[in-house]
Chain A
Amino acid sequence: MKLKKFAASALAAGMATFALAGCQTAGTSGSEETAEGQTITQEAVEGAAQLELWTFVELHGEFYTTMAEKWNEENPDKKVQITVNVLPYDDMHNKLQIALTSGEGAPDIADIEVGKFPQFVQGTPALMDLTEYAAPYADDIVKARMDLYTKDGSLYGLGFHVGATVAFYNTEMLEGAGIDYTTIKTWDDYQEAGSKYYDATGKYFGTVDTSAAWQEGLLLAQLGGEYFAEDGSPALNSPEMVEALTILKDLQNANAVSVPPGGQPDTDEARAAYNNGDYAAAIMPFWFTGRYLAYMPEFSGKIAIAAPPTVDNPVNTSVGGGGTGTAVVAGGENAEVAAEFASWAKLSYEGNVETWNMLGFDPLNTSVWHDETITNNPDNQFVQYFQNNPFEPLLAIEGSIGNLDSFTNPAMPSVNNLINTQTLNDIFENDVPIQEALDQAQSDLENELG
């Protein structure tokens, strides 16, 4: 009985605390409340169009609110006020899908990851055609990266970056093993360096991934392959796929690389492993710069960026990897101003400078790449962090950054899912022969697509 009384009063006290805390949270709003990354609300703007924006990366949210403030200064007649909802990757895409399907509850603007994009433009897209809004900027933008979000000649998403796949090396750790990263040009060099590194340190040089296919995409571009045949049907067991995976499997067999915790470098587990000094190299799209800055501050001044290793006579040296298409939902009350704002934020020169400055992306507007006041700005956090200038490798490969057409195929989300859950695990965790794993993937996909 005593316990019951005690418990009841403790509960009452607890409830009172919640009520108080609830009031406090309700009372504070504004852009400083970003610590938990749920909602980022811009300062109240009088007479502004209210825009709701969904994204899955907290930093993107901050980029948009910054851009909105600049936009409002330049366009006092078309002010916007943005409320950003940051949701986990899966949840955000799923909720958006449902909202668009049912025609209820969608935001005004949404970030859609490139791997998910094709299914959002199936049938009659519920997204707005942005072609007209992007037109003023189109000439300066890498067209191939916009094609990712184009269907039947209409542009439905605005890219963020080129995402050129590059190699990141920890020079301090490489020197310790007597390796000079500038000598790594081909996959054979990479393998040799990796084996040497393993023999010297007992640790793996780089990663081979099971939950993402950055390196497979890179190799396909170098070999001139695709995930689909000319007619759009899946071709997962193509000779190029076999060759790409054989190169990666050889790296693993030579102890040059291993599967990182988390299955790919862009996970919490893998970042911890990198921080721990378990790996010295990463082959990732350029936007991985941001992860170094945010999660591996101790490596400042030690990381060099280089062109990725290639096959002999590559079709392309690098490939655009990843991407986020910013889409505007059609039919919204503020859809027009949303489209104008989003196009400006993502495609204008100012916007592109800001994507580099804030997010460390390789901007879509490649004239920024050549503007030395920006690329060599000593105050820039990324220029400060990396050992060499991040644009040095980009300029070296500029004419040879390919893109996979596969990403626009409606079945690409299924391919991604299959490869990143099943096939790569089969090959790199369970030693299933490459041809067998790919044949299995091909037949699974054919069956799933019906």
Chain B
Amino acid sequence: MSQTLTPPKSAKRVMSNEGKAAKRRVRLNSWLMYIVMAVIGLIVLVPFWANFLATFQEGRMIITGGLNLGIDLAQASLDNWVMLFTDSGMYFTWFANSVFITVAQVIATLAVSAFVAYGFAMYEFRGKTALFIVVLLLMSVPFEMMMLPLYIQINDFGLQDTYTAIIIPFMANAVTILFFRQFLRGIPREIVEAGRIDGVSEFGIFFRLVFPLMKPAFGAMAILTGMMSWNNFLWPLLALRSSEKYTLPIGLNTLLTPYGNNYDLLLVGSFFSMIPIFILFLAFQRFFIEGMTAGAVKG
């Protein structure tokens, strides 16, 4: 800096002026950023708010008039919410089914994927590269294209209309395997070596020494797998047939028919279906976001 030639006193003043200017600029930029974030954030929340307002209005009117951000308070009522808790047919059955399937899918997928990823991350073995390419290619296979033969196969196994049929095909999930493998590579090999020296079996090392260290990675993948399972539509629609076994998305979709009278429940049911997930996410978000960053997808 050229200021070094000027007397110290004035230099100090120049510096502090510059510092102030920089500080002001930072503050201005921060505010700009807040404004951008606030605008985007509010837009993102609009659909939720519109759905929320709709729960106090007559379903048929919303279906024909569309959703907006206004509400006529004179017409608003709690009828839909009362119906949800007193006379909503199978709604809570579907809800419980979805929760059950999601939890089971998360546990199954995480367990299998972690197990497999450990094999990939910690060992050298023949055929590893080929197998790994299979994992990568798996990410490119559209499930929909094998849906029909798989349906026939599920029937051959006698698994039609069971939750097993819904959960099993998604147990080996390429994204989850990749993520865990990446995470495991960050774990020091010394732990494994120490285990071997102590005479722990290969599987003991995994279950007793490594598994507990994977906690942060589990958080992130639990939410991603959970999202996938909670959302799954086409396959459960094909595989399930009794309405008491339906999942929430399928059940809600059955309410969307012009030959019934279910729009009140549809709107309040849609809104209500989001609440528990939000609570779960808010409760565990720190865990989740840390996990995602810890696993850092490096390819």
Question: Interface residues, chain A, CB within 8 Å of chain B?
Answer: 3-4, 7-8, 10-11, 14-15, 17-19, 21-22, 25-26, 33, 35-39, 56-59, 85-89, 91, 95, 98-99, 102-105, 261, 266-269, 271-273
Contacts and interface: CB of A to CB of B under 8 A. Distances in A.
Interface string B272-283: 000110011011
A386 B155 CA distance: 51
Contacts of B253: 88, 91
Contacts of B70: none
B243 A39 contact: yes
A105 B241 contact: yes
Given A4-B283, A95-B241, A267 B258 contact: yes
Contact of A18 (B60, B95, B251): B95
23 contacts: A3-B282, A11-B279, A11-B280, A15-B276, A18-B95, A19-B96, A22-B92, A25-B91, A25-B92, A33-B89, A36-B255, A37-B260, A39-B243, A86-B254, A89-B257, A91-B253, A98-B151, A98-B238, A102-B151, A102-B155, A103-B155, A104-B155, A104-B160
Nearest to B153: A102
Given A36-B88, A56-B259, A58-B259, A14 B152 contact: no
Interface string B146-177: 00000110010000110000000000000000
A182 B253 CA distance: 43
B230 to A, nearest CB: 15
Contacts, number: 123
B265 interface: yes
B237 A26 contact: no
B76 to A, nearest CB: 19
A36 B86 CA distance: 12
Interface size range of chain B in the complex:
35 or more
A104 B261 CA distance: 30
A271 B151 CA distance: 38
A11 B280 CA distance: 7
B14 interface: no
A89 B253 CA distance: 11
Contacts of A268: 60, 63-64, 258, 263
B256 interface: yes
Which of B64, B244, B255 gathers most chain A CB within 10 Å? B64
Given A8-B283, A14-B275, 4 more contacts: A25-B91, A36-B87, A95-B238, A105-B155
Which of A57, A91, A104, A266 gathers most chain B CB within 10 Å? A104
A18 B258 contact: no
Contact of A36 (B60, B241, B262, B275): B262
Contact of B60 (A35, A86, A272): A272
A10 B281 CA distance: 13
Interface in B38-85: 60-61, 63-65, 85
B63 to A, nearest CB: 5
B215 to A, nearest CB: 16
B270 interface: no
Q: 3 closest A-B pairs (Cβ-Cβ)? A: A36-B89, A272-B64, A7-B283
Contacts of B160: 102, 104-105
Contacts of B61: 272
A82 B65 CA distance: 37
Contacts of B244: 39
Contacts of B151: 98, 102
A51 B57 CA distance: 38
A126 B251 CA distance: 27
Nearest to B64: A272
Nearest to B152: A102
Contacts of B92: 18, 21-22, 25
B90 interface: yes
Given A4-B283, A35-B87, A272-B60, A11 B254 contact: no
Nearest to B87: A35
Nearest to A54: B241
B96 A37 contact: no
B257 A88 contact: yes
A102 B149 CA distance: 10
A37 B89 CA distance: 8
B93 interface: yes
Nearest to A101: B152
A99 B241 contact: yes
A4 to B, nearest CB: 5
Contacts of B256: 88
Contacts of B90: 25, 36, 38-39
Contacts of A19: 96
Which of B88, B152, B279 gathers most chain A CB within 10 Å? B279
Given A25-B90, A38-B90, A58-B260, A11 B96 contact: no
A94 B82 CA distance: 34
Contacts of A91: 237, 253-254
